[in-house]
Amino acid sequence: MTVLKLLGPREITFFVPHVSVAQKWYREIFGAPRFSSKDFVLFEGPGIEIGIHTADAKALGAGGQQVLYWGVEDLAEALARMLALGCQVYREPIVGIDGPSVCQVQDPFGNIWGLKQG
C-alpha cells in the first residue's frame, strides 16, 4: 500500500457571499492581505494561509463551507491516489489565480479535501 505523502496543512479557505465585505472583517484579524482579487483574497495566518473566496453552489449552508488545503509535491499523483482510495473529484484541478495548482476531492464520508501543490 502506498501512503499519500502530505506536506502538512497549507491553507484554509472560507467561502463568503461577498469577498469585498469579508475582506474588511478578516483584515481586522490578519492585517493586510498578501494577495487580493475580486473573488479571492489570501492572508498570512499563524502557520497557515487564510483564503476568502466567493461562495458558489458547492459552498452550501448558512455558514458556508471551509476547506483545508493539504500541501502535496505532485498534484496529479496525489489526486490519482485519492481517487484510488474512493474519493471523487469535487472541484477539478486548476491553477489558482494566486499561482499554485489546486483541486478538491470528496472522500467516501462526504468530507471535502483540498490539495495544493507545493
Burial class (CB within 10 angstroms; exposed 0-12, middle 13-18, buried 19+) of 114: buried
CATH number, domain of 76, equals 3.10.180.10
Q: Is the pLDDT of residue 32 over 80?
A: yes
Q: What's the predicted TM-score (pTM) here?
A: 0.81
Does residue 2 form part of some domain?
Answer: no
Range of the structural domain that residue 61 is part of? 9-117
Q: Is the pLDDT of residue 14 over 60?
A: yes
**pLDDT, mean of residues 54-81:** 85
Number of Cα atoms under 13 Å in the Cβ half of residue 52: 26
Query: In the β-sheet with 101-106, what is the strand arrangement from edge to edge?
Result: 35-36, 40-44, 49-54, 9-16, 66-72, 112-117, 101-106, 88-95
Confidence category of residue 62, pLDDT binned at 50, 70, 90: low
In the chain, the number of structural domains is 1
Q: Is the pLDDT of residue 57 over 90?
A: no
Mean pLDDT of the chain: 90
Does residue 3 form part of some domain?
Answer: no
